[in-house]
Structure 1
């Protein structure tokens, strides 16, 4: 990085769009002393929060330790925008794959590439040479091992397609684009410039013209957690097709990814079920609630007698869980070699979604919950047994018999007198994660399509915006932790070689050791604080139940990787 980053400098207030990077310790930021309460006549002075002062970055620390050796992050999601200016040089287009429109993989060709023919589709073997023998014993029965071997052999001999006209990411890749920006986003490169790019002098701090190398006034000098790593997009759908997800994890392993990020759940018909809450079951077992319990049972199991009418119902004698069980064992096996970062879920439940629920001390699955700048668990974030750690995100409103958390700035808040319910109120956070968005009508913010203007192909500067959006959820939290894992792997590579990597359990242990429960989420000042969500007195439980090992300190994690 440039010398200007070594000493604190004045920064405009709009720097706060990268608040989550300072909360994690990726960037050193001094927000000054906490605001103090003043008499009413001086309230205006109390609202004058000083701009943060920016010092060094963890990227400088890794760069000083050795050569820049990018990590490879495999993002299993709904795709990533190929032409976003903050992602174009970070996305590995030659390794990315679409498993939704072709069983054996599809890829969009570069239509400006004149070295190949212009056929609409060309065959390509994406899984050629696939070999899972290094994974060792996956804990499968002989029959299941043979079943998986047949799948691997089929994909190793398969042929996918390279297409020139079909670009599904332009419609459906909003979630993946948001997650990608939080992981590897970088300031938009100038035309023809190859990443990774360092911010030019003053680019990180200027509030004048041309705030980034490309000079596009609609782009920001945006940074993901690790803008020097590369991202492999593995596009999957939400279909309950276990083979699709087996292929996704096999492909990530085949590509020798250093990190796998799964910012969503998998639709396993058995393992993705939400279990009844213990406190709810206890209520239904009381005598006075027997009628309600009986109704609950009849509703829950009303459709079990009509399985033969279900078109997707398995035939008698088949084992529909076999392929899902194989997927589970494959995920566990791969996690021993590659850290797998999973979102904890956004249901506000005291249990994790699948496969984050597989996280345990003896594997490399990292389950991530969300916390707000106010120091509380995000109102929607799942928590409970198996949670590895937490990361900054936005908030969600809560109104139940255990807590009240509402957005007081909403015009609807004034229409209700919540105080009448005498419920304990927790501070709602207005901070969200700014990240890259799918431009055009199908993005989260539905910004103007930057390719709609009548200009030479590729020359449109993106007038109209649509490049960024507010984001959050445990998806955003897990994406950031995926970036931290990339930093850990990249730090390790800088001291060894480009082909070296730490195992999943090693990365996980480094993360846990570098996480703290007694810390605040900067620029907030409240330490991590438990809340009552699903049971009376729940906030008296151990803090790990809500936050796992806590909020990671990236500087400490990188230092640990460099010391190995």
Structure 2
């Protein structure tokens, strides 16, 4: 499988943008070679459980349908104590939640109260949708989560194309989809939340990830804590009060503080992988900036296909840097422009001043099929529930530190799946394993550690 960006030509009609492998990011960190060499999950081994706190996921995507644990997927957007979206409304169920007795909130009084409420909901056969409110997991909401899930744990698939979509008299056809995430042996649990400044929903999401005993937790986004924004708001000048529609109550302030403590406490038990931010935030966005040598929080920055720091990323505060896309920069610090672009002109930006570090490679991932994804379908009607209608909308270009964090979470998950990380390893132990599987990359734009399965990296875009 290969992909390409929009093609332009120079004066001779030569193609400017070259094709590149859709799985270049796996090649870069050595995972694809491991699969070619026969790396497989041990027979009978329980799949690694990855909790993804993000938007919902298009669970019927052919490359994801066997990778998503729909029995545990939960939505905290629609229901305060969670809705289980893949059970019918009114259907009784009893989710298999193995860690109801967790002590992670014992020192956090407000969080402990929420934990008790959640335990009470989960420990009894109950309604999947509280008060009949439908979960907010439709495909319109699932772009980001679907792309994230694909990078972590998509599987190659063969999709059927129903005869109705081929033409009159045609027989059913099959379409191979040779796409894989970093750990195609894992099982992911989508934990969908909203993006409001609501500490309670996020506390419940992290508690749920702890209660289902996830080996890896992924948060490919920031948390809108008004007291921990990046850059920090000067509270003494009253800026916070001016920006917020209502100043946080005393209870909300307590919950925001306890959420930060909860994330660190959970990270001591299981690694929490976080995106470090897309605006060169020194130290990383929150909660990636909680990462330190003494906890299991893993802050992930981005490197482009040339093996240099992406134009939007930052090495300061990042635990590791993983492959992702790039952006152009043109400021007092650096000039990184796309010299292949149709609007590039060397009189405005002389080539001798361009550091040549820009890469047009993007990360390719799974997308919401049909009209609602990043790479939407041109057809007006919806996709069939089973089977493939057309290829294009099933995959998309993706990037940012979100993509880099998903790749890193998949890498850690693969460590569990292939027995490199032993069962029962705590969050700090898993983080130390990750660091032991990195190599130091030195470039003009910074030195960073990059995951490398076999002890070396192979970035493919150096000559493109």
Normalised to the residue count of structure 1, the TM-score between the two structures is 0.68
Instruction: Look up the match of 1:19.
Output: 24
CA distance in 2: counterparts of 1:411 and 1:343, whole angstroms: 32
Instruction: Look up the match of 1:552.
Output: 451
Deviation track 1:288-340 (CA, whole Å, cap 9, x = no partner) reads xxxxxxxxx9xx94756758xx642245xx35421011111111111111111
Per residue, is there more helix in 1 or in 2? 1
CA distance in 2: counterparts of 1:129 and 1:70, whole angstroms: 15
Residue 367 in structure 1 maps to residue 299 in structure 2: yes
Instruction: Look up the match of 2:221.
Output: 264
Instruction: Look up the match of 2:5.
Output: none
Instruction: Look up the match of 1:73.
Output: 50
CA distance in 1: counterparts of 2:53 and 2:377, whole angstroms: 25
- Structure 2 residue matching 1:413: 3-state secondary structure: coil
Task: For CA contacts below 8 A with separation 6 or more, give which structure has more relative contact order.
Answer: 2
- The change in CA–CA distance for 1:323 and 1:18 in structure 2 (over 3 A counts) is same
Q: 2:182 aligns with which of 200, 225, 229?
A: 225
Instruction: Look up the match of 1:470.
Output: 397
Instruction: Look up the match of 2:373.
Output: 443
1:178-189 maps to which residues of 2 (within 5 A)? Answer: 178-189=147-158
- The change in CA–CA distance for 1:171 and 1:429 in structure 2 (over 3 A counts) is same
Name the stretch that deviates more: 262-271 or 126-135. 126-135
Contact 2:315 2:321 in 1 (8 A): no
- Structure 2 residue matching 1:329: 3-state secondary structure: helix
CA distance in 1: counterparts of 2:397 and 2:365, whole angstroms: 6
Shift, 1:275, TM fit: 4.5
Instruction: Look up the match of 2:427.
Output: 504
Instruction: Look up the match of 1:157.
Output: 120
Shift, 1:273, TM fit: 2.7
Instruction: Look up the match of 1:9.
Output: none
Shift, 1:106, TM fit: 1.3
Name the stretch that deviates more: 227-236 or 181-190. 181-190
| Backbone CA RMSD of aligned residues | 3.2
Q: 2:364 aligns with which of 407, 415, 434?
A: 434
1:34-49 maps to which residues of 2 (within 5 A)? Answer: none
Instruction: Look up the match of 1:486.
Output: 413
Residue 380 in structure 1 maps to residue 303 in structure 2: no
- The change in CA–CA distance for 1:167 and 1:268 in structure 2 (over 3 A counts) is closer
Uncovered stretches (5+) of structure 1, i.e. residues with no partner? 1-12, 29-55, 111-117, 192-213, 277-296, 519-527, 532-538, 558-564
Residue 418 in structure 1 maps to residue 366 in structure 2: no
Q: 1:247 aligns with which of 204, 207, 211?
A: 204
- The change in CA–CA distance for 1:249 and 1:238 in structure 2 (over 3 A counts) is same
Shift, 1:490, TM fit: 1.5
Instruction: Look up the match of 1:312.
Output: 246
Normalised to the residue count of structure 2, the TM-score between the two structures is 0.82
Residue 170 in structure 1 maps to residue 139 in structure 2: yes
1:335-414 maps to which residues of 2 (within 5 A)? Answer: 335-384=267-316, 386-414=317-345
Shift, 1:129, TM fit: 7.8
- The change in CA–CA distance for 1:556 and 1:337 in structure 2 (over 3 A counts) is farther
